[in-house]
């Protein structure tokens, strides 16, 4: 309402009050004799004026009181609905404030493979994981630190007034928060990996949007390198260029099938027999060996994993056929990436390759790691079932390091467990680990599975494994992964026989504690005879 119009009720109420009062005063003092109707009209005018005046005053009072309260937009919480932490705009504002108060750091914290998590668990459980992570982060935040959720699975932590050197310690603290798995919905345990990107500023901070994109770039690099955290390198362009160049080179190498397979034997302790070989991918780029963990994760990110796996399967089966032709009958294990199991075309492709190379399905073992959770009822479950139905064997890799191993064992028929190297190394000096290994071996036996000890490096480990009843080992102590020609030579020099088919239930077995050092002797001198340098 225009100001002048708004004043009209006040003017009228003042006139009514003044007029009414004047008539009543005049009537009361008796200067004039006023007729009764006039006096009543004056009373009505006075009362009406007072009412109007009061209403106006109350409205003004209300306006004053309301305007002193926070207005509705200010009341809208600066909080993210899902996590209860600051939302994107609020944490960005906190970041801007922090850059004005002195040196500090920004950490961007991102969950690895969150998309898979959403897919395997469903949105409700994945949201629950986000909430739980948010509250772990909030509980661990130091005084003055500001925490927010930028979106999806991405959190931001601002540490104002801190020296850049403190940022790494903060990132380590964040990483340690996920050491304990998360419990969701039906009691499934979920283990998370985080990638943290760190950017720090001193007296002359860059703009907030620059800080955010620098932290993102550092986070991307951490993930691509398979590292839990990475700091922003001021030479940003060169970092990004390096990453893109490497991904491009990998794409080319996969297309031209330049990746190579090395092979590492698995040996039966009792008989000295080579029960199979594991194929491990190698990529040499510009004279440098790139770690398989790095290029496999790059291949996953770049959508190359299906063609990479296909090429390696082709190569491995081709090699087995060549060994066959040389009179060396071997079975081969090929590693699958968790993402391969989401590819419904995989089982058919595997069967075609087996057929093309004339290899019986039982001579191919597919190793699946259990570090990425895969509850049943999923696409990966169906792919596993179809693979299994086609006759190929399945193995659980890195057994003991993930969350889903027992689920796998309950829900799928697998043929082999590969006990993670961390158990093998620790069981020598730690009784509890020894007990875990011994019961895993016993469980494997009851389920009719081979238990393979991975990464065996020392003779004491062999001794402990024999005492546990574990019969099959793989590791540098026997032979590191080597190119096929070297493995052929090694097999000719060392192996008395090889076993291409699955072990028969009546095959040679060591009994608990009974084999003693004689079991090592059973290796027939295989131990320690591999090429000296691990590769
Ligand atoms: P993994 O499947 O657990 O393979 C065993 C790793 O342990 C190999 O590392 C092998 O070289 C190493 N190793 C063997 N014996 C010993 C030992 O006595 N001591 C120690 N400390 N290590 C030993 P590598 O070749 O660097 O491969 C690392 C990982 O990369 C593999 O772990 C596997 O997860 C992945 N990977 C390798 N090749 C492929 C592939 O073709 N496809 C997929 N999806 N992943 C692959
Ligand atoms: Ca493996
Ligand atoms: Ca392994």
Query: CA-based Rg of the chain, rounded to a whole angstrom?
Result: 37
Considering only CA atoms, which residue is closest to atom 12 of ligand 1?
455
Residues 270 and 510 sit within 8 Å (Cβ to Cβ): yes
454 is catalytic: yes
What mean pLDDT do residues 299-315 have?
92
Number of the ligand 1 atom closest to the C-alpha atom of 291: 26
The SS3 of residue 133 is helix
Strand, helix or coil at 129? helix
Task: Tell which atom from ligand 1 comes closest to the C-alpha of 398.
Answer: 3
Per-residue pLDDT of 123-137, as tens digits, reads 888 899 999 999 999
Residue 292 in contact with ligand 1 by CB distance below 6 A: yes
The listed range with the strongest mean pLDDT (242-256, 266-280, 365-379) is: 266-280
Span from the CA of 275 to the centroid of ligand 2 (angstroms): 15
Terminal C-alpha separation, the chain:
84
Mean pLDDT along residues 518-534: 48
475 pocket-lining for ligand 1 (C-beta < 6 Å): yes
Ligand 1 lined by 280 (C-beta under 6 Å): yes
Q: How far is the CA of 448 from the centre of ligand 2 (A)?
A: 20
> Residue 281 and residue 153: Cα distance in Å, rounded?
31
Of 309, 381, 407, the C-alpha closest to 349 is 309
Instruction: DSSP for 308-360, please give it.
Output: HHHHHHHHHHHHHHHHHHTT----EEEEE-GGGGG-TTHHHHHHHHHHHHT--
Residue (of 292, 284, 393, 381) closest to 338 by Cα position: 381
pLDDT score recorded for residue 214: 87
**Neighbouring C-alpha atoms within 13 Å toward the C-beta of 165:** 0
| pLDDT attached to residue 504 | 39
Residue located nearest, by CA, to atom 19 of ligand 1: 455
- Higher pLDDT pick, 288 / 72: 288
Of 137, 143, 141, nearest in space to 194 by CA = 137
Residue 457 beta carbon below 6 angstroms from any ligand 1 atom: yes
Most informative mutation of 250, 262, 292, 395 for ligand 1 (most atoms within 8 A of CB): 292
Q: 226 pLDDT exceeds 70?
A: yes
- Vertex 475, ends 471 and 478: CA angle to 5°? 80
pLDDT of residue 69: 42
State the pLDDT confidence band at 254, using cuts at 50, 70 and 90: very high
Residue 261, ligand 1, Cβ within 6 A = no
Residue 189 has a pLDDT of: 84
Q: Which listed residue (278, 367, 454, 461) is catalytic?
A: 454
Average pLDDT, the chain: 81
Mean pLDDT of 497-510: 42
The pTM score is 0.60
Is residue 36 very low, low, confident or very high in pLDDT (cuts 50, 70, 90)?
low
pLDDT at 509: 32
User: Would you state the pLDDT for residue 152?
Assistant: 85
User: Does residue 281's CB lie within 6 angstroms of at least one atom of ligand 1?
Assistant: yes
pLDDT for the residue 136:
95
Burial of 151 (0-12, 13-18, 19+ CB in 10 A): exposed
- Tell the burial category of 68 from Cβ atoms under 10 Å away from its Cβ (0-12, 13-18, 19+): exposed
Number of other residues whose CB lies within 10 A of the CB of residue 44: 12
Per-residue pLDDT reduced to its tens digit, 147-189: 999 988 999 999 999 887 889 899 999 999 998 899 987 777 8
Type and span of the H or E element at 105 = strand 104-111
């Amino acid at each position: 309402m225009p100001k002048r119009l708004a004043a009209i009720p006040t003017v009228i109420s003042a006139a009514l009050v003044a007029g009414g009062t004047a008539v009543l005063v005049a009537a009361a003092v008796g200067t004039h004799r006023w007729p009764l109707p006039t006096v009543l009209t004056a009373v009505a005018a006075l009362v009406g004026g007072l009412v109007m005046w009061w209403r106006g005053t109350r409205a003004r009072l209300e306006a004053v009181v309301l305007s002193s309260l926070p207005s509705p937009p200010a009341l809208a919480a600066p909080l993210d609905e899902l996590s209860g932490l600051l939302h994107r705009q609020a944490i960005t504002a906190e970041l801007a404030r922090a850059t004005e108060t002195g040196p500090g750091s920004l950490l961007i914290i991102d969950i690895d493979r969150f998309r898979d998590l959403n897919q395997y668990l469903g949105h409700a459980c994945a949201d629950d994981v986000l909430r739980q992570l948010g509250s772990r982060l909030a509980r661990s935040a130091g005084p003055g630190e500001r925490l927010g959720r930028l979106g999806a699975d991405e959190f931001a932590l601002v540490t104002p007034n801190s020296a850049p050197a403190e940022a790494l310690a903060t990132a380590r603290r964040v990483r340690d928060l996920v050491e304990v798995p998360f419990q969701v919905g039906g009691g499934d345990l979920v283990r998370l990996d985080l990638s943290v990107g760190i950017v720090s500023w001193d007296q002359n901070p860059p703009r907030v949007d620059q800080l955010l994109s620098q932290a993102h770039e550092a986070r991307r690099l951490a993930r691509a390198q398979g590292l839990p955290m990475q700091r922003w390198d001021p030479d940003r362009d060169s970092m990004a260029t390096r990453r893109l160049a490497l991904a491009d080179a990998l794409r080319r190498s996969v297309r031209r099938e330049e990746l190579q397979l090395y092979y590492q034997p698995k040996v039966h302790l009792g008989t000295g027999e080579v029960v199979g070989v594991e194929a491990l991918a190698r990529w040499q780029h510009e004279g440098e060996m790139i770690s398989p963990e790095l290029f496999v994760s790059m291949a996953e990110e770049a959508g190359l994993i299906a063609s990479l796996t296909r090429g390696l399967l082709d190569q491995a089966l081709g090699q087995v056929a060549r060994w066959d032709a040389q009179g060396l009958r071997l079975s081969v294990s090929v590693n699958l990436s968790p993402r391969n199991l989401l590819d419904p075309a995989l089982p058919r492709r595997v069967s075609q390759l087996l057929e093309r190379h004339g290899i019986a399905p039982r001579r191919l073992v597919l190793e699946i790691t259990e570090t990425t959770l895969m509850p049943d009822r999923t696409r990966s479950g169906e792919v596993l079932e179809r693979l299994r139905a086609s006759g190929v064997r399945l193995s659980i890799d890195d057994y003991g390091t993930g969350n889903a191993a027992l689920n796998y064992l309950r829900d799928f028929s697998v043929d082999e467990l590969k006990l993670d190297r961390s158990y093998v190394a620790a069981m020598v000096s730690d009784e509890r680990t020894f007990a875990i290994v011994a019961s895993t071996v016993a469980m494997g036996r009851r389920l009719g599975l081979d238990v393979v000890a991975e990464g065996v490096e020392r003779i004491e480990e062999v001794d402990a494994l024999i005492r546990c009843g574990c019969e099959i080992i793989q590791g540098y102590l026997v032979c590191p992964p080597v190119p096929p020609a070297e493995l052929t030579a090694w097999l000719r020099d060392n192996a008395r026989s090889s076993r291409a088919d699955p072990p028969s239930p009546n095959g040679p077995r060591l009994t608990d504690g009974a084999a003693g050092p004689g079991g090592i002797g059973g290796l027939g001198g295989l131990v320690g005879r591999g090429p000296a340098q691990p590769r």
